[in-house]
């Protein structure tokens, strides 16, 4: 019976950690979107001009590249720690 409780607790901790990661990622995305918006959008209108669209696209591309590099590095560190 104690094993079942420990298993449930471990699963609950895993789920809570996953939800915390999702919340942190969402917060980072929102923060990033604000940064790109403030950097690229001078005056909001009905449409984005090509300059603004290119700026937003480049900003997002940099974010994705950086996120992938950080994630990859983190995975390497975790893998080395598990060995």
Query: What are the φ/ψ torsions at residue 18 (nearest 5 degrees)?
Result: -65, -40
Number of domains in the chain: 1
Q: Give the domain CATH number at 54.
A: 1.10.287.810
Q: Is the pLDDT of residue 82 over 80?
A: no
Say what the pLDDT of residue 15 is.
87
Confidence bin at 14 (pLDDT 50/70/90): confident
According to the model, what pLDDT value does residue 69 have?
A: 92
pLDDT at 1 over 60: no
Contacts within 8 Å (CB) and 24+ apart, 76-81: none
How many whole angstroms separate alpha carbon 59 and alpha carbon 1? 53
pLDDT in tens, 17-76: 889 988 988 888 888 889 999 999 988 889 989 999 999 999 989 988 988 898 888 888
C-alpha–C-alpha distance, residues 37 and 54, integer Å: 12
Structural domain for 74, as ranges: 2-82
């Amino acid at each position: 019976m104690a094993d079942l409780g420990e298993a449930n607790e471990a699963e609950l901790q895993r789920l809570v950690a996953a939800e915390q990661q999702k919340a942190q990622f969402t917060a980072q995305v929102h923060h990033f979107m604000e940064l790109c918006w403030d950097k690229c959008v001078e005056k909001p209108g009905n449409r984005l001009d090509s300059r603004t669209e290119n700026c937003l696209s480049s900003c997002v591309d940099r974010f994705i590249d950086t996120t992938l590099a950080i994630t990859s590095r983190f995975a390497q560190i975790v893998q080395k720690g598990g060995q």
